[in-house]
């Protein structure tokens, strides 16, 4: 063991031309961004306005930026896999087997942990405090720490392409393959420490959102007056608080097995590898609903707004959300029906899996009845919502099919399961996040997104989805196992080529979204709507300016009805609340959250490469910074003095 642990010149990606090209591209992109920021002189405003911020809206925007970057990285892996399988009939293709294994492991890890989770967390950060009439989340400093921990985990995954290798054990990292005896290098350790660092941030986010919703609601906003998106955020935060410790525990135990020679999961030395599967999926199935429930809340907001009706079945939607949250903890074993459990055990979990489809079906019918006889406006958010309803039902039907244990025995290790999983998460979660991004973009930035390019992106995405994943259902019935980098069955290749064409369509959809952002920014003055109600929404976030002031509300509103906007139109009109304060106290910005995230990144990197002195220094630094801030206490207050209430001009003074 050297001063730099097991880090050496052989850690560079010389094992594959594709890996080397990917690493070079990643490094070049990072250098170009740094050069651009330096050339434009953006470092000072970047630190002042963004890196040091504890404002929930800016933190939410940074989460969305991180999700966008990781979507590009994760989709690049998907393209590589689709192209490899399209050309690998009776040949090795262009990817070595080990590199292909790294790619599908990285793809799943990135899309679940570092694209979908930041996307939903960013939307929750931006919207929930505005919907409940709060000036910020309950713990602004902790909120910033959570973001930088998530960023640190993402950075570890990105670094694995440049230094060392990523895991070849899939995004689930099942033992025994993830144990040292099978994968002794740094790959699995990259997975472990990226997940541990980001998982700590997600757990803290869950606590923060839960406390914010329960304790920071405006006067008069009872639980049954909360918007549906806030309700789904509440249930999601509960799932995060209870589910993520299981992931943290299983990952930490695997790290102890690999690093200190423990035997939690090594069968030959007294461990039990099936305990890992249980712990992982006790997190993993609630995680599916952690991703999907916020999207369900977005669909509820979008359908009501663009059907110009009150949401049909509000109470049933609330109870369906709560029931899904409870049942999500009762179905984890269907992820490994093939492990050899008794028929009775499999039957119980199969029935529970079928039952959980019922509250989801209730939601779909409520959305359809909301649209019925409504004045429907086919905006971009509505396109994503209708596309979801049509496509998600297919995924749900295939899920009920897989809930039958004998069927699962046949289909579990086939690409049929890959098609089902993507059929749930792409329309179920990602389409919802895209709908929410379009819907709340004017609230966050003050101007709308271009509708033409948004609709082009939708059609490219949904066309690409069907072309890319419907063939995988057929291939599953034809017996194609998942995770194959080459094959010798000629009948599979036409469908795999079709799937690769579908991935190209999805790439076109992503390109349209990038163009949409550019065109919208370029034409932002004509798309600007800084006051009032850009989408005719009905919840409290539309009572603030677009974008909102740092303190959100000059006066915390009093809520009188579930549909507060309609109540004010009919009863009170658009009037300010009485008793506006002369001063508003906000938490001071701080660079400590970023420093904690950077130290966590260094700690994870040191543990991966066994650089023990660096790991100890980074850990002590983290503990010192957390102790100095009392773990959750904000670093002081700044006072906003309202000098002119009508114009809401503010003067910032130190406390």
Task: Tell me the torsion sign for CA atoms 567, 569, 571, 577.
Answer: positive
**Looking at residue 536, what is its pLDDT?**
55
Task: Return the structure tokens found at 297.
Answer: 């809340």
Sites in the chain below the pLDDT cut of 70:
1, 529-538, 572-582, 630-655
Cα 576 to chain centroid distance, Å, stands at 36
Domain ranges for the chain: 9-654
**Looking at residue 633, what is its pLDDT?**
55
**Looking at residue 607, what is its pLDDT?**
96
Predicted TM-score (pTM) of the model is 0.94
Cα 163 to chain centroid distance, Å, stands at 25
Beta strand 637-644 pairing with 649-654: antiparallel
For 541-573, write each residue's pLDDT tens digit: 877 888 888 888 878 888 888 877 777 777 755
**Looking at residue 531, what is its pLDDT?**
45
**Looking at residue 565, what is its pLDDT?**
74
d(CA 448, CA 451): 8
Question: What's the 3-state SS for 520-534?
Answer: HHHCCCCCECCCCCC
Select 9-654's CATH number: 3.40.1390.30, 3.30.450.20, 2.60.40.420, 1.20.210.10.
1.20.210.10
d(CA 70, CA 510): 12
**Looking at residue 644, what is its pLDDT?**
45
CB 396, CB 435: distance < 8 Å: no
Residues 6+ apart with CB under 8 A from 12: 23, 162, 163
């Amino acid at each position: 063991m050297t001063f730099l642990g097991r880090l050496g010149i052989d850690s560079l990606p010389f094992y594959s031309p594709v890996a080397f090209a990917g690493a070079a591209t990643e490094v070049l992109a990072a250098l170009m961004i740094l050069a651009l920021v330096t050339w434009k002189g953006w470092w000072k405003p970047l630190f002042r306005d963004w890196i040091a911020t504890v404002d929930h809206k800016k933190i939410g925007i940074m989460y969305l930026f991180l999700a966008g970057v990781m979507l590009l990285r994760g989709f690049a892996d998907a393209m590589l896999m689709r192209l490899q399988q399209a050309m690998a009939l009776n040949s090795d293709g262009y990817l070595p087997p080990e590199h292909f294994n790294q790619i599908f492991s990285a793809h799943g890890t990135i899309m679940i942990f570092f694209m979908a989770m930041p996307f939903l967390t960013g939307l929750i950060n931006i919207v929930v405090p505005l919907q409940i009439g709060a000036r910020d989340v309950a713990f602004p400093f902790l909120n910033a720490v959570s973001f930088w921990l998530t960023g640190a985990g993402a950075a570890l995954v990105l670094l694995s392409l440049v230094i060392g290798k990523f895991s070849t054990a899939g995004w689930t990292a099942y033992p025994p393959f993830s144990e040292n005896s099978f994968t002794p290098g740094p790959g699995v350790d990259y997975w472990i420490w990226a997940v541990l660092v980001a998982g700590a941030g997600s757990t803290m986010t869950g606590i923060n959102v839960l406390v914010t919703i329960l304790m920071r609601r405006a006067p008069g906003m009872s639980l049954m007056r909360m918007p549906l998106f806030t309700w789904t955020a509440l249930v999601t935060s509960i799932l995060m608080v209870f589910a993520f410790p299981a992931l943290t525990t299983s990952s930490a135990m695997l790290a102890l097995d690999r690093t200190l020679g423990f035997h939690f999961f090594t069968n030959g030395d007294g461990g039990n590898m099936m305990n890992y599967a249980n712990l992982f999926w006790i997190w993993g199935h609630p995680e599916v609903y952690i991703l999907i429930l916020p999207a369900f809340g977005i669909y509820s907001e979008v359908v009501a707004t663009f059907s110009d009706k009150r949401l049909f079945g509000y109470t049933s939607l609330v109870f369906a959300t709560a029931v899904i949250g409870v049942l999500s903890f009762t179905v984890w074993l269907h992820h490994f029906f093939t492990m050899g459990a008794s028929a009775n055990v499999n039957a119980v979990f199969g029935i529970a899996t079928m039952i959980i489809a019922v509250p989801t079906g209730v939601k779909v019918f409520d959305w359809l009845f909301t649209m019925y006889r409504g004045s429907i406006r086919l905006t971009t958010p509505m396109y994503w919502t209708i596309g979801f309803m049509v496509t998600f039902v297919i995924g749900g039907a295939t899920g009920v099919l897989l809930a039958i244990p004998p069927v699962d025995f046949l289909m579990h290790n086939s690409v049929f399961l890959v098609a089902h999983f993507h059929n749930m998460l792409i329309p179920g979660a990602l389409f919802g996040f895209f709908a929410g991004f379009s819907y709340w973009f004017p609230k966050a930035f003050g101007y709308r997104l271009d509708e033409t390019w948004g609709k082009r992106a939708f059609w490219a995405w949904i066309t690409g989805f069907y072309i890319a994943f419907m063939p995988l259902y057929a291939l599953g019935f034809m017996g194609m196992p998942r995770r194959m980098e080459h094959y010798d069955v000629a009948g599979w290749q036409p469908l795999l080529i079709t799937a690769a064409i579908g991935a190209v369509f999805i790439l076109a959809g992503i390109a349209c979204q990038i163009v949409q952002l550019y065109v919208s920014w370029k034409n932002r003055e004509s798309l600007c709507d800084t006051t009032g109600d850009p989408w005719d929404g009905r919840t409290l976030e539309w009572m603030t300016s677009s974008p909102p002031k740092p303190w959100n509300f000059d006066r915390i509103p009093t809520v009188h009805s579930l549909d507060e906007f309609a109540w004010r139109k009919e009863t009170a009109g658009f009037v300010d609340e009485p008793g506006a304060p002369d001063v508003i106290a906000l938490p001071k910005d701080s660079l400590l959250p970023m420093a904690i995230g950077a130290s966590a990144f260094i700690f994870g990197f040191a543990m991966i490469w066994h650089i023990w002195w660096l790991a100890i220094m980074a850990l002590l630094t983290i503990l010192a910074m957390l102790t100095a801030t009392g773990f959750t206490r904000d670093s002081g207050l700044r006072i906003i003095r309202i000098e002119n209430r009508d114009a809401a001009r503010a003067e910032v003074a130190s406390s």
